[in-house]
Amino acid sequence: MRSDHLRPDRRTLLKVALGLGAAATVHLIAADPASTPTRPARAAGTPPAAAPGPPSGLPGRPPAYRLQPMTAATPPRFRPAAPPVRTRPFEELPDLGRSMVLTFDDGPHPRYTPDILATLRKHRVRAMFFVCGEMAEGNRDLLREMADDGHVVGNHSWSHPLIPGLSRAAIRDELGRTSDIVDATLGTPPLWYRAPYGAWNRNSFEIGADLGMEPLAWTVDTLDWTTPGTSTIVRRVLGGAAPGAVVLSHDAGGNRSQSVAALRRYLPRLLDDGYRVTVPQRV
C-alpha cells in the first residue's frame, strides 16, 4: 500500500472483523522448529545481557543468520495440503507455547522495511510480512531478503482495497496477482493471507483457500498507522504480550519511523521476558 490516504475508518472495520467471532483453532500449525530459542527470563534488578555479536563468517550480513526457509528440506515445489474454507481468520496461535508472532503489513517499503529486517536479524528472530502486490512488484529485492532471512511472506492483496466491496473476480485478481508476484520472485506462493483492514467475507475465505492460503488476523493491534508515538507502540506490544499472541505493525502505507524505532525497543524486552518470537509453520 503506497499511502494512508482514503483508508476507511479502521475502528469501524475492526468491529466488522471482531463480529466474525473468536479465532479458529487448528493443530496443523506449529512453531517453526528452526527459529531461535528465547533468552532466559531476566531476574528483576539484573542488568540486561549485552547483545550478541555477529556470527563468524564472511564480512557483511552474518551468513550464519541467514535462517533456512521453512521448506528447505522439501522438494522445490512443495505444497501443504489445501486448507479448508474458514469462516473466520486465525487471531492467535495458541499451539505455539510461550511464543509470539510479529507481523508487518503493507510493504515492502525501500525506506522502512530494511531497518525492520536489520533489527530482526540483529536479534536472530523471524517474522511475517504481509505484502501488497503493488509494493512487492517494485521491491522484489526486499522480498528475496525476507525469504533469505527465513521470514514468512504473506499475501495482503494487490492494492489494499476494502474486500467486501469487491466482486469475486476482483478479489481473485487482488489475491491472485499478489501470489503470482511472490511465486515468481521466491519460487513458492504465499501460504498465508490477511484482508486489508481486517475486513473479510466468505468470498475472500473461499478464494484464499483455493489459492492455498490460510487467513491470519491478529491479537495485538499497535495502531502504529496513527503515529501515536514510539513509546505508545512499545507499551501496546508489551501490554498485549501473551503466549500465542500475533502482533500487527506496519512497514509501509505512510511514515513508519515510529514503528521501526518501537521494534528496536520492544523486541529485546520480549526476549528478555522469556518469549520466543517465531513464525507458524503449516504442515
**Could you give the percent of the chain with pLDDT greater than 70?**
72
**What pLDDT, on the 0 to 100 scale, is given for residue 13?**
52
Is 105 one of the annotated active-site residues of the chain?
A: yes
pLDDT score for 64: 33
Query: What is the end-to-end Cα distance of the chain in Å, rounded?
Result: 30
Assigned C-alpha cell, 32:
517453526
**Distance from C-alpha of 246 to C-alpha of 216, rounded to nearest angstrom:** 9
Return phi, psi of residue 250, to 5°: -135, 145
Q: Tell me the C-alpha distance between 43 and 251, whole Å.
A: 33
CA 207 to chain centre: 20
In tens, the pLDDT along 52-104 reads 443 333 333 333 333 333 333 334 455 677 899 999 999 988 877 899 999 99
Range 36-40 average pLDDT: 46
Strand residues in the chain grouped as ranges (E): 29-31, 99-105, 128-131, 152-155, 192-193, 214-215, 220-221, 246-250, 276-277, 280-282
Q: How far from chain centre, in Å, is Cα 117? A: 12
- Whether residue 233 contacts residue 262, with contact meaning beta carbons closer than 8 Å, is answered with yes
At residue 182, what are phi and psi to the nearest 5 degrees? -65, -45
% of the chain beyond a pLDDT of 90: 68
**Residue 256 exposure: Cα atoms within 13 Å on the Cβ side:** 28
Residue 104: closest CA among 149, 38, 73: 149
From 109, 123, 160, 250, active-site residue: 250
Q: What is the distance, to the nearest Å, from the Cα of residue 24 to the centroid of all Cα atoms in its chain?
A: 18
SS3 18: helix
From 105, 115, 221, 224, the catalytic residue:
105
DSSP 3-state of 53: coil
DSSP-assigned states of every residue in 157-224: -SS---GGGS-HHHHHHHHHHHHHHHHHHHSS--SEE--GGG---HHHHHHHHHTT-EEB--SEE--G
Contacting residues for 130 by C-beta, under 8 A, at least 6 apart: 103, 104, 105, 106, 154, 155, 156, 192, 193, 194, 216
Q: Helix 168-186 to helix 202-210 angle, to the nearest 10 degrees?
A: 30
pTM of the model: 0.79
Contacts of 103 (CB under 8 A, 6+ apart): 127, 128, 129, 130, 154, 194, 216, 218, 246, 247, 248, 249
Signed CA dihedral, 130, 106, 208, 18: sign only: positive
pLDDT (0 to 100) of residue 82: 84
Mean pLDDT within 266-273: 98
Q: 116-138, pLDDT tens digit by residue?
A: 999 999 999 999 999 999 999 99
pLDDT above 60 for 38: no
